[in-house]
Amino acid sequence: MSSYVPTYHIPSPAAQIRDGLREMKHDKWGWIIYRCTYSDDSAWVRFRHIIEENSRRAIAESDAPEITDSLQWTFVEDRVALDGASRESLRARFRAWATAPETIRSEQPRAEDISSFALAGVPRYHYFIQVDEEALRSVVDDPQGHGHVNFVYADWEPLSAVVSGYENSEEAAEDVYEPIDGCRDEDVGWMKISSHMIGPDFYDTMSGLPDVWHAYYRRPPAIVHV
């Protein structure tokens, strides 16, 4: 007598994004990408082309190609404010944008709930991408368009800001790393990710609980490949 073994269909990342958009009545998904180098306009145009083509190709080959209609990689360019901008200043700029009620109403006009709780699992409003000179060159100077970008956790704070007395603790004395952006913590709130990860798979991965950050985080200069 044969026994019935149920099969379960696990939605693809693209399908997960589609279903999430429908459930929340959102009209846009995708990363905010800050241009922080202005030495070569033609290289920037090529970078944008590579990123957009790679991501749209991945979506077209998925089981939910319709999400390309709601995809928006928002490229932010401002030579005066962003050329060589620090990640600290970018976080402040991004958070001001992401937490403004008018931002959500403009981007997701059909959404019925725009509270911080409802948006907690929406990657677009918690992470962003920084493209500095090193990242730009790593992509456009590679014949295959491979390379990396800087993926930044906007809500990150150093341990000294969230743990009282941490700087004088034994843990702080033992856990000392070379400073990055003036921070000696293991987690500095940003990481280098392979440029091919700018697409639906990683976007879906970063949805949901914030603990997923720690599952993928690698301290720079290591580059995360998925």
pLDDT digits (tens, 9 = 90+) for 63-103: 999 999 999 999 999 999 999 999 999 999 999 999 999 99
Asked whether residue 188 carries a pLDDT value surpassing 80, the answer given is yes
How much is the pLDDT for 137?
97
Supply 116's token pair. 């911080």
In whole numbers, what is the pLDDT of the chain averaged over residues?
90
At 223 the pLDDT is 97
pTM (2 d.p.): 0.91
Residue 176's pLDDT is what? Answer: 77
Residue from 127, 142, 143 nearest 191 by CA = 127
Q: Residues 95-120: what's their mean pLDDT?
A: 94
- Residue 143: band (very low, low, confident or very high) from pLDDT cuts 50, 70, 90: confident
Q: Which residues contact 101 (CB under 8 A, 6 or more apart)?
A: 114
Please give the pLDDT value at position 180.
Answer: 96
Residue 14's pLDDT is what?
95
Amino acid at 3: S
DSSP conformation letters of the chain? -PPP----PPPPHHHHHHHHHHHHT---B--EEEE---S-HHHHHHHHHHHHHHHHHHHHTSS-GGGGGTB--EEE--HHHHTT--HHHHHHHHHHHHT-HHHHHHH-TT-S--STTTTTT-GGGTEEEEE-HHHHHHHHTSTT---EEEEEETT---HHHHSTTGGGSHHHHHS----BTTB-SS--SEEEEEGGGSSHHHHHHTSS-TTHHHHH---TTSEE--
Residue 226 confidence class, pLDDT cut points 50, 70, 90? confident
Q: Which residue has the tokens 């932010």?
A: 76
